[in-house]
Amino acid sequence: MSISLRINGEERLLDVDPEMPLLWVLRDVLGLTGTKYGCGAALCGACTVHLEGQVVRSCVTPVRRAQGKSVTTIEGLSPDGSHPLQRAWVEQGVPQCGFCQAGQLMTAAALLKEHPVPTDAQIDQSMAGNLCRCGTYCRIRDAIKKVSGGGR
C-alpha cells in the first residue's frame, strides 16, 4: 500500500505496510537515523517526532496515521543544527551519551512553540516522558530556560 506524507518538508510516496511503525519508516526506509529506538513501547521518548506539530512516539505510531500529513524529525528541526534549542544544547553541554537527546529536543521544541516562556512545572510536565539514563535533566531544563529567556 502506498502512503503519501511530507517528511521534513519533502513530499514522499512510500510503498510500505500501513501498520509499520513510523520509526521503522524513518530509520530503515528513509535512512533518517537521528530518531532513535529506545523501548519500542512509548515509555522512553527516544523516538519522539512531530506529526502535524504534535509530539508522537514514532515507535508505536503506525505510518498510516501520517497519511497526508506532515512529519518533522530531528533532521528537520533546522537544516544545519542552528535551532535555538540545538545551540543552547551545545552551549550548556547538555548531552552525555546523547542517545535520548533527539527526542528531548523534539519535545522541548514543541513545548516552546506552545509556551514560549514555560514555567518549571510546564517544563517538568511536558518533558516527563523523555527519559535520560545519563541524568542530564538539570542541564536540559537549563537549556530550555536559556532559550525561553527564563534561565540563568
Q: Report, in Å, the least distance between residue 11 CB and another protein.
A: 24
Asked if 35 and 57 count as a contact pair (C-beta separation under 8 A), the reply is no
Applying CB under 8 A, the span of 8-16, 37-45, 76-84, 92-100 interacting with another protein comes to: 37-45
Distance of CA 71 to the CA centre of its chain: 10
Per CB under 8 A, contacts with another protein among 59-118 are 59-62, 65, 107, 110-111, 113-115
Of these, 29, 122, 134, 137, which contacts another protein (CB under 8 A)? 122
Decide whether 27 or 57 has the Cβ nearer to another protein.
57
| 57 DSSP β-pair partners | 48
Decide: is 41 part of the binding site for another protein (CB under 8 A).
yes
